[in-house]
Amino acid sequence: MSTSKSLEHTSLEEIVAAAQKGDQQAVHYLLENYKPFIAKCVSEVCKRFINPDTDDEFSIGLFAFHSAIESYSADKGSSFLSFAKLVISRKIIDYIRSNQKYPQSISLDETYDEEKMENPMEIIAVKMQYELDQDNWHRKQEILDFKHKLSTYKLSFAELTKIAPKHKDARDSAIRTARILQQDDQLSAFVKKKKKLPIKELVKQVDVSKKTLERNRKYILAIFIVLNEDYLYLQDYLKGVGK
């Protein structure tokens, strides 16, 4: 890839791959041509118009986009732009939180400051609501991305509610199986490529029958997706389970 003109006729995934191999022109092309995309992602998180020339948040978004270029893996099944959007949103949320200036502690008796014309309790409430809104937005993005990943395995949310094991022991066992899949490079690569469980190999590594693995196949695949992706919120539901 030697000219900008040639890049215009190259797929985005190929340009990202070239950038990861050290092609600086590909890196420059991505950073320049996707500024509107970056600004849109940042604006959605900040809930206001972002000026690329004056807003610090845009610089954070640009840096996050560059990080996404370096860390993107097509093997995970998501498009580069979906991945980049998640990376940008997380970096912006972290930046906003680290730069918020609110009282660290207040007395419950202190209800109003006449000089500042501010109610400290209201400030705390606004801060908490803002963080809740951001968390909800971020969680929604993860769920949307998860929904897309499920579709690549020919799975859906509607199915998961029906095929999830009814008993806790069965669910824990399925999650343990998914963890084994995710932690074994060969098995993980098989699942990503074939979009199915390596039943024959898996039976050798888990204390579960072939029949049980086949019955819980879809649920195990769904958990595998959650574990394999950078899902901060969805993975919270699995902490301490199946270990």
Angstrom distance (rounded) from CA 208 to CA 184: 17
For residue 112, what pLDDT band results from cuts at 50, 70 and 90? very low
The predicted structure's pLDDT at residue 190: 92
Q: Is the pLDDT of residue 143 over 90?
A: no
The predicted structure's pLDDT at residue 144: 83
* Same domain? 168 vs 97: no
Range of the domain at 186: 157-236
- For residue 146, how many other CB atoms are within 10 A of its CB? 19
* Stated pTM of the model: 0.54
pLDDT in tens, 176-199: 999 999 898 899 999 999 999 999
Residue 96 lies in a domain: yes
The predicted structure's pLDDT at residue 114: 38
The more confident residue out of 166 and 76 is 166
**Residue (of 134, 149, 161) closest to 44 by Cα position:** 134
**Residue (of 74, 82, 73, 84) closest to 30 by Cα position:** 84
* Same domain? 80 vs 164: no
Q: Is the pLDDT of residue 71 over 70?
A: yes
Q: What is the DSSP string of 59-107?
A: HHHHHHHHHHHHH--GGGSS-HHHHHHHHHHHHHHHHHHHH----S---
* Same domain? 8 vs 72: yes
The more confident residue out of 208 and 8 is 208
Domain count along the chain: 2
pLDDT in tens, 8-23: 677 888 899 999 999 9
For residue 4, what pLDDT band results from cuts at 50, 70 and 90? low
Q: 126 forms bridges with which residues in the sheet?
A: none
Residue 126 lies in a domain: no
Contact partners, residue 200, CB within 8 Å, separation at least 6: none
* Same domain? 166 vs 229: yes
